[in-house]
């Protein structure tokens, strides 16, 4: 069995119990939930999206108005792993990319404004070497700001992930009587 996906510093590691005596039964359970969610009509923004890849990778997020890729909502990715406590979805949650994409767009728009302002304030010629250095400095500074914004922790991220976990747990079938969720 393959291990869970690599967790980066901004990702939130998680373990979620999945009902089933083994990984195969838990996979069937999740596949049934994914089919039921996929068949739900009409689709609305905020609906739960669950997909199971052929490689065993599981992806959980919410539907958004921008199409398949999740820009606004966090994304949980992981694999089913059998352990001493039973079958668990082990993986990580990645924050949404909305704030980073917005910051990158604003930085792109700011390049000509900052460049023009600095060159005019310094009285430089726009086709000289000094102007190229100013432009390079502006681009590097804005790239660092975008990188910092993309890596900083998001407020409310842990709450959004917990809400996704709760929504998935509500969609999963209850554990068989006399067994705990995820028990082996």
Average pLDDT value for the chain? 83
Complete edge-to-edge strand list for the sheet that includes strand 48-52:
12-17, 86-94, 75-83, 58-62, 48-52
Buried b (16+ CB within 10 A) or exposed e, 77-96: bbbbbbeeebbbbbbbbbbb
Tracing tokens 């949980």 back to the chain, one arrives at 76
Percent of the chain scoring above 70 in pLDDT? 85
Q: What is the pLDDT of residue 184?
A: 38
Q: What is the pLDDT of residue 35?
A: 92
Tell me what the mean pLDDT of segment 109-118 comes to. 92
| CA 148 – CA 130 distance, rounded (Å) | 27
pTM over 0.85: no
pLDDT tens across 141-175, in order? 999 999 888 888 778 888 989 999 999 999 988 76
Please state which CATH number belongs to domain 12-96+154-171.
3.30.310
Instruction: Tell me: pLDDT of 101 over 90.
Output: no
Q: What is the largest CA-CA distance in the chain?
A: 80
| CA 65 – CA 8 distance, rounded (Å) | 27
Neighbours of 30 (CB within 10 A): 24
Q: Which long-range contacts (CB under 8 A, 24 or more apart) does 116-124 make?
A: none
- CB of 87 closer than 8 Å to CB of 80: yes
- CB of 164 closer than 8 Å to CB of 60: yes
Query: Residue 183 — pLDDT band, cuts 50, 70, 90?
Result: very low
| CA 67 – CA 57 distance, rounded (Å) | 21
Tell me what the mean pLDDT of segment 35-42 comes to. 87
Q: What is the dihedral of CA 89, 183, 2, 95, to 10 degrees?
A: 10
Range with the poorest average pLDDT among 5-19, 51-65, 108-122: 5-19
- Polymer length in residues for the chain: 184
Q: What is the pLDDT of residue 135?
A: 92
Q: Where are the domains of the chain?
A: 12-96+154-171, 98-151
């Amino acid at each position: 069995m393959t291990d869970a996906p690599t967790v980066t510093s901004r990702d939130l590691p998680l373990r979620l119990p999945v009902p089933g005596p083994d990984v195969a039964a838990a996979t069937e359970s999740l596949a049934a939930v994914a089919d039921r969610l996929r068949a739900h009509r009409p689709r609305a923004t905020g609906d739960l999206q669950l997909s199971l890849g052929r490689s065993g990778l599981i992806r959980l997020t919410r539907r958004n108005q921008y199409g398949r890729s999740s820009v606004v909502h966090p994304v949980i990715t992981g694999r089913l792993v059998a352990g001493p406590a039973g079958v668990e979805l082990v993986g990580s949650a990645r924050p949404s990319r909305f704030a980073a994409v917005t910051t990158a767009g604003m930085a792109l728009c700011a390049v000509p404004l900052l460049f023009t302002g600095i060159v005019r304030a310094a009285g430089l010629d726009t086709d000289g070497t000094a102007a190229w250095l100013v432009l390079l400095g502006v681009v590097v500074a804005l790239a660092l700001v975008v990188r910092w914004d993309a890596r900083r922790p998001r407020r409310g991220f842990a709450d959004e992930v917990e809400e996704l976990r709760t929504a998935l747990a509500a969609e999963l079938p209850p554990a068989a009587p006399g067994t705990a969720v995820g028990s082996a």
